[in-house]
Amino acid sequence: MKIVLGGGIAAAIAIASCSHKDDAPTYFDRSTMLDPETCKQCHATHYEEWSGSMHAYAADDPVFLAMNARGQRETNGALGTFCVKCHAPMAVREKATTDGTNLGALPKKLKGVTCLFCHSVSDVTDTHDNPLVLADDLTMRASYKDPVANGAHRAGYSALHDRSRLESSQLCGACHDIVNGHGVSLERTFDEWKKSVFASSPGGATCGQCHMAQSPNLTPIAQNVQGVFARRTHAHTFAGVDVALTPWPHADDQKQAVQSLLDTTLQTALCVAPLGGGASSLRVIVDNVAAGHSWPSGAVQDRRAWFEVVAYSGGNVIYQSGVVADGTAVTAANDPDLWLLRDCMFAGDKEVHMFWDALSLDGAQLPGQATFDQTDPRYYQTHVVQTWPRGNRTIMGVPDRVTLRVRLQPMGLDVLDDLVASGDLAKATRDAMTTWQVGKTLEWTPATATLKYMEDRTMLSCVSTTNLNVQADKVPATVPTKCKP
């Protein structure tokens, strides 16, 4: 990521504003502080990281714009600020929008989740739907108890901004738990974290510790500025699973950050069970070891995560499930054995597809880690096992090679198709949706199967590239009662 500072007179003004002054400083006014470009003058690295993040993209995301436009239309405006108060919070607070439908006409400084918004938070009054209190003192709050005096703005310490403090997750969670107007908990990431071992001390981890990686080296938090000493900083990329679907700064860097995060999230094992009579079945054991919450998380009603297994004998496919052609919605697959993780939304017994209509949810996720104590029975509640084929069916033949891929779409193509059909989203945006592979492809062969365990008097042979204990207790994969592939 290349960082470029302005030169000449502009740079001189920036350095003078950022530097420590012995006389009484004249700080930037509110209008100036609203603009992240102002922050770029002194904090170029953090600005560049943020500029390629989904926080910066939040109000430009065409899927958000499409869904908000449709929601306003279908609710006759009753949706109001529900979406935009998290996607462009300063636009709402500056009274520049009441529903987000005019975001295209607003200045850039009011779009997205900006520097002033996050660093002005002084209190959190609830757990969901952005209950954040912003101070009006233009003090930029952060994790350092010894901020350097400067000529740009006041600076102060805040536990809410200190990624080493568990309470800092409240700040993130306030916008990452969403409850719709019918009381349905659409997004539960913060609540999931609170129920996990990661919300406990010692040994826990905050949102910031996972999604704002700490620098390995000491660096100045403000570049080319006098009086600023080197210290540990943390990234402002906020990698998760979503990425920009239209041209956006540092898109490749963001994709690499997301892939790196996903590659360490799950531990998997792939097993073959010979059943006698020339038949067999498959097992996948998966453990959500690193998400810090359930997986997938966030807008689970829109996410699509599934497991692809393919069994071969002599080079021929003798069984497969979860094989979805590129560009095809996974929900359109005619696959009775499909293991699909997602939420389904309902109004009564009718499935609905837009969150403002939802009166209830049904679905399946991988649970978050409950304890680090291996003597605690809860330790194994995240060791989830799934069997193929389902029911009493078997694979005719014993494979000599089996592959496993875990796949994830941040927004299901079926959701995007719905928005395209309603005229709210361009098909080109739908076609740009990323399908992630979570971790490497896992391949079982008799030679690589070095792990074994007994199940129902059958010895299963397994392969894993992680330290997953295949012999440990396991729980069957959740079977939703209403939500079907």
pLDDT digits (tens, 9 = 90+) for 34-54: 999 999 999 999 999 999 999
Task: For residue 379, give the nearest of 293, 303, 312, 472 by alpha carbon.
Answer: 472
Residues 128, 59 within the same domain: yes
Q: Is residue 1 part of a domain?
A: no
Q: Is residue 247 part of a domain?
A: no
Stretch 180-206: mean pLDDT, rounded? Answer: 95
d(CA 372, CA 69): 45
Which of these three, 231, 256, 283, is where a domain ends? 231
439, two tokens? 């971790």
Residues 324, 213 within the same domain: no
Element (H, E) at 71: helix 62-74
| Count of residues in the chain | 485
Q: Is residue 204 part of a domain?
A: yes
Stretch 279-287: mean pLDDT, rounded? Answer: 97
Per 3-state DSSP, the chain is made up of helix, strand and coil in percentages (nearest 5) of 25, 25, 50
Stretch 65-84: mean pLDDT, rounded? Answer: 98
The per-residue pLDDT for 8 is 35
Residues 192, 277 within the same domain: no
Residues 221, 301 within the same domain: no
Stretch 175-186: mean pLDDT, rounded? Answer: 98
pLDDT tens, residue by residue, 395-444? 999 999 999 999 999 999 999 999 999 999 999 999 999 999 999 999 99
d(CA 320, CA 312): 9
Please determine, for residue 470, whether its predicted confidence score (pLDDT) is greater than 90: yes
Residues 301, 216 within the same domain: no
pLDDT tens, residue by residue, 118-132? 999 999 999 999 999
Segments forming the whole domain that contains residue 373: 264-476
Stretch 78-86: mean pLDDT, rounded? Answer: 98
Q: Is residue 394 part of a domain?
A: yes
The per-residue pLDDT for 201 is 82
44, two tokens? 């170029």
Task: For residue 426, give the nearest of 28, 65, 54 by alpha carbon.
Answer: 65
- Per-residue buried b or exposed e for 144-182, using 16+ beta carbons within 10 Å of the residue's own CB: beebbebbbbebbebebbbbebbebbbbbbbbbbbbbee
Residues 212, 268 within the same domain: no
Calculate helix-pair angle for 62-74, 413-421, nearest 10 degrees.
Answer: 60
Q: Is residue 293 part of a domain?
A: yes
Mean model confidence pLDDT for the chain: 93
Q: Is residue 125 part of a domain?
A: yes
Q: Is residue 109 part of a domain?
A: yes
Give the count of domains, the chain: 2
